[in-house]
Amino acid sequence: MQIVNEYGSFENYLLSFKGKVEPLKEDMVKRFKWFSDTNAYAFQKYVGYAHIAKPDVHVRRILWRLGLIKEEDAPAEDVLSVCRDIGEAVEENLNVVDEVIWAYGSGVNVCRAICAKKPRCEECDLKEFCRYWRDLDIIMPAGE
């Protein structure tokens, strides 16, 4: 109700940030105590911000396994930075990059997840770059 009193509507509240992702995320986390950074980014994505990724567990898992973030629970900003870099490298909208990585890890809207919590490494074209695969190969070398 405070937002409606302050801005006239929730839509006006969102528009007041003029599409700026970080200030809106910061304000949402401050105002809505149940919002984490990840949830605030996800919300922005779902309301139509095309230049945002949702740094959830599936995206983080894949980026960490590929060595693109330092830890699996890296800050959302680190995850978004890597996703932006990937988007720029392949000249694709950040939303698309996020959806592809997310589907690869979650399996939602595709046949099945490749890089799920229990990955299907043998089916993955990226396994040569993957920490999980390298560690698995050390434990159980290929061909054994």
Q: What is the pTM of this model?
A: 0.73
Mean pLDDT confidence for 80-108:
89
Model confidence at 81, pLDDT cuts 50, 70, 90, reads very high
- Residue 17's Cβ-count burial label (10 Å; 0-12, 13-18, 19+) is middle
* Residues 10-30: tens digit of each pLDDT: 999 999 998 888 899 999 999
Give the single-character DSSP code of 112: -
Q: Nearest-CA neighbor of 58 among 100, 86, 90, 120?
A: 100
Q: How far apart, in Å, do the first and last CA atoms of the chain sit?
A: 63
The structural domains of the chain, with segments of one domain joined by +, span 2-139
Three-state secondary-structure class, residue 107: coil
Distance CA 107, CA 87 (A): 21
Residue 140 predicted with pLDDT over 80? no
Distance CA 90, CA 101 (A): 13
Residue 136 predicted with pLDDT over 80? no
